[in-house]
Amino acid sequence: MAATPPGRSPPQPPGLRETVARHRLAPRKSLGQHFLLDPALCARIAALAGDLAGRQVLEVGPGPGGLTRALLATAAARVVAVELDPRAVAALAELAAAHPGRLQVIEGDALTMDPAALLPGPEPRRIVANLPYNVATPLLLRWLRGAAALEGMTLMFQQEVAERLVAAPGTAAYGRLGVLAQWRCAEVRVLLRLPPGAFTPPPRVWSAVVGLVPRPEDPGPALFAAMERLTAAAFGQRRKMLRGALRTLGGAEALLAAAGIAGERRAETLTVAEFDRLARALLARDGAAAAGRPFSAAGRRARAP
């Protein structure tokens, strides 16, 4: 990005609503777009992300740039905005010109991008985004795989998804998504709930901002894959006892015995720590099978982190 000549101020971008009108940014349902156009609300969400001083921030789905402007108003070192809609990319170019060196706009699909690669350098990385509803869950799952490289995530979801993320064992909302999020993050909590009228156009449901603080330990791709397989099987047939629900993984009884978990329990009763034990037992069993070694429940009970 070209630097502003000495003595000359960067060009000022038009107002947010003027930007929407100039670039004909009518929200598109196919892209899951629901724009945040209230500057005070955008500033509040940016504040919920905590102190961004010296941080690199990734924003996905910025649209016309309401939240982007709020992030640039903080002391963040750099903001990278990934946008799939070429209309919004053109609108954001005006904002980037007003903040030379601080805002980078990338046109593309965030589902194919690695946050750590987008935010190189020694500065801590955070993700702050009003996520497009139609890709919010797959995006989160992708980011959880590399969560050890992130300092935090402040993300907007449909309220139903947010409730699943923070759900406790034994509740109706507790499931695969909550287990994976709480396994990889030391803190997962709802920070703010928003009515449909906060967005343009209003969605049919309430939304919620969720704050996630990743654990610094990286379980590695093999253990993460084992946890994904385990939770998919366990909650895929959640009304069944675990000895039946985990039958698709093979050797369910030995697997449960290795983790010290009774086969008559159901998935929604297990804590995240118990799922961790099961995932480690599954990984150990698969590793033993690949090496041609026998797998035994004896001595295989892995400790939770």
Residues 6+ apart with CB under 8 A from 44: 192
Backbone angles phi, psi at 103, to 5 degrees: -120, 125
Backbone angles phi, psi at 129, to 5 degrees: -160, 145
Beta strand segments in the chain, E: 56-60, 78-83, 103-107, 125-130, 152-158, 185-194, 207-214
Write down the residue that tokens 């955008």 correspond to.
Answer: 42
Q: Which two tokens stand for residue 12?
A: 């000022």
Neighbours of 185 (CB within 10 A): 21
Find out whether 270 is annotated in a ligand binding site. no
Find out whether 155 is annotated in a ligand binding site. no
Angle at which helix 272-290 crosses helix 252-259, to 10 degrees, equals 120
Find out whether 286 is annotated in a ligand binding site. no
Find out whether 23 is annotated in a ligand binding site. no
What distances in angstroms separate CA 111 from CA 140, 147, 164, one per listed residue?
10, 15, 21
What distances in angstroms separate CA 41 from CA 67, 69, 142, 152, 194, one per listed residue?
9, 12, 27, 20, 10
Backbone angles phi, psi at 263, to 5 degrees: -70, -20
Burial class (CB in 10 A: 0-12, 13-18, 19+), 147: buried
Write down the residue that tokens 């709802």 correspond to.
Answer: 190
Find out whether 109 is annotated in a ligand binding site. yes
Q: Which residues pair with 128 in a beta bridge?
A: 154
Find out whether 130 is annotated in a ligand binding site. yes
Helix (H, G, I), strand (E, B) or coil at 153: strand
List residues forming the annotated binding site.
34, 36, 61, 83, 109, 130
Binding residues for S-adenosyl-L-methionine: 34, 36, 61, 83, 109, 130
